[in-house]
Structure 1
Amino acid sequence: MRYLSNKIYLLPVFLVLIFFACKSSRPDFTSPAGYDFKKPEKFIMPDNLLEISGIAFYKDKSDTIYSIQDEDGRLFRQAWGKKKQLHTTFGKKGDYEDLAILKETVLVLNSNGEITAFPFSQATTQKVQRPKIFKKILPKGEYESIYASQQTGQVFLICKNCKEDKKHGELSGSIFTFDQAKQELIPSGEINMDLSALISSGQILKTGLKTSALARDEHTGEWYILSSVNKLLVIASPDWKIKSTHRLNSSTFNQPEGIAFDKERNLYISNEGDELSSGNILKFKRKS
């Protein structure tokens, strides 16, 4: 009886130790300065945007959000919080991963590195007429991230899966300047980011960051680099030096595939859905 009694007294102590052990093993989910990732405003997508990927705003205005999904060549538009959406068809079925709206031109990125461009004025039509497709302008690889700067007219593309990046523990990309008059993408530089610190610390896989979306805070020049595979948001300086990392809670960020800022510097992240959950866009208001 005394032995059984001792076991009963020790049970609460054992449970407390298990609680603290589990608590200490949980990853730390942090938020970038100015935002609280624990308090999003969630916008549930309709069924045809279950696989929502890229998102963008026209001139950073948040009254209408533009988006694409993986398979269909359609540009969707809808008011924030309203499930009803309209769309224009810009291409055949493919693997469309991200988009950017640069002044009066829409740029849609295919995973093979091809870019479809068409006038923003056609975003409200039933079908885009004579879209322009840029082929073989990027090194061979898989691409999911495009960002266009309204200030400089430059277009930035990051490789998700490139052979040389794996060898050297880097993130690479290409920079173009878009000539609005000629509708041409002019090569203007390269992107290189050292990932060795993230790999050695175990924050990302040895195979790389696996970037799924890219945005820039034009007020600070900082890059916001999203990785769905690693469930990570990396913030880098204007010259692509890592400043901070933020692990994303999978209960909030199911499959983060798109990222954008509006003119009030509110941050938006889109998530693909699955068999159990709908696609969504999360809005994080900028804290004063």
Structure 2
Amino acid sequence: MNKTAIWIIIGVMVLSGFLIFSFDRKGIFSEKKEYSYKVQLKWELPDILAEVSGIEWLENNRIACIQDEDGILFIYNLSTSKIDKEIKFAGPGDYEGITINGETAYVVRSDGNLFEVQNFKNTNPETFKIKTFLTEEQNVEGLCLDKSKNRLLLAIKDKEKDQDNYKGIYAFDLKKNVLANTPVFKLDMNDKLLENSEKKMSKKLRPSEIEIHPKTGEIYLLDAKNHQLIIMDNHGNFQKKYALNKDEFNQPEGLTFKPDGSLYISNEAGSDPANILEVELIK
């Protein structure tokens, strides 16, 4: 074989290797992502909040935080970058979401149990445990207040029982203190917005938080595993998807809004400390 043929073969092999490397596992040509958001401000959280799993806006530039190991509610002050107060509401557990209705805080544990913390700002608040039919297998991580309908919304992260085609968002009636048996919204895993996500149906969207925009009424779903933010209309229809840079969002678990619509996302610690980011979406 002459030298020219050898060099042609080598060239073909190099080109083939480059093309294989340049395609991701879904067969889509990889390009440098452009992210449609700006991180405006960043607060690094203390070590005790390394596993921060849920946040909720309070008055006077403060945010209520929980983490997924201890039943403690932390009041974090954005102005001073310090924890103002720690309030014990329950024993150790995998606490994932928090929302507030007046003087009452609600916290959801991954096994579907709700904790109603009355007068939560007190040093020794009264806590009531509410058992639901949701389970640890479904892995409940999202919780928010739907004030207009006097209910809480609970979003499951993992698989629905006996099917893969949707994941439910369930409504807890605050007047009746009961969780409806059927989902108020069904997140369609076959939706086109999710077509470039994980191939396995149950992993295309794994909500780690849910929140309602105070101005538009749109529903926001945060997905820590797939590093994405999904926006739905108030009927539960997917509208838009924002990819989140893993270098900025190590593990985005918490989401909340200031009354003016400013968006805050919290991240658990990785190689860097846990943090809260103020994020501006570019629409």
TM range (shorter): 0.7 to 0.9
Task: State percent identity of aligned pairs.
Answer: 26
Deviation, structure 1 residue 198? 4.9
Structure 1: distance between partners of 2:165 and 2:193 = 8
Which residue identity is paired with 1:279? A
Alignment match of 2:66 (pick from 65, 68, 74)? 68
Distance 2:221 2:264 in 1: 13
- Quick one: which amino acid aligns to residue 40 of structure 1? Q
Deviation at 1:219, TM superposition (A): 2.1
Which has the larger displacement, 250-259 or 98-107? 98-107
Count of paired positions: 259
Instruction: Give the structure 2 partner of residue 83 of structure 1.
Output: 81
CA distance in 1, matches of 2:99, 2:32: 33
**CA 1:206–1:187 in structure 2 vs 1: closer, same or farther (change >3 Å)?**
closer
Q: 2:134 maps to what in 1?
A: 138
Query: What RMSD in Å do the two structures reach over aligned CA positions?
Result: 2.9
Question: Against the structure 1 CA distance between its residues 137 and 48, is the aligned structure 2 distance closer, same or farther, given a 3 Å change threshold?
Answer: same
SS of the residue 1:40 aligns to? strand
2:106 matched to which residue of 1? 107
Q: Residues 90, 29 of structure 1: CA spacing in aligned structure 2 closer, same or farther, 3 A cutoff?
A: farther
- Secondary structure (helix, strand or coil) at the match of 1:173 reads strand
**Post-superposition offset of 1:57:** 1.8
Q: Give the C-alpha shift of residue 199 in structure 1.
A: 8.3
Q: Contact conserved, 1:75 with 1:123, CA < 8 A, in 2?
A: no
C-alpha distance after superposition, 1:219-260 (max 9, x if no partner) = 222111011111111111111111111111101111000011
**Once the 2 structures are TM-superposed, how far is the Cα of residue 67 of structure 1 from its aligned partner?**
0.4
- Which stretches in structure 2 are left out of the alignment for 5+ residues? 8-13, 24-28
Retained in 1: the 8 A contact 2:160–2:167? Answer: no
One-letter amino acid of the counterpart of residue 148, structure 2: Q
Number of the residue aligned with 1:41: 41
Query: What is the distance in 2 between the residues matched to 1:69 and 1:198?
Result: 33
* Match in the other structure for 1:154: 151
More deviation, 238-247/167-176: 167-176
* Unpaired stretches in structure 1, ≥5 consecutive residues: 8-13
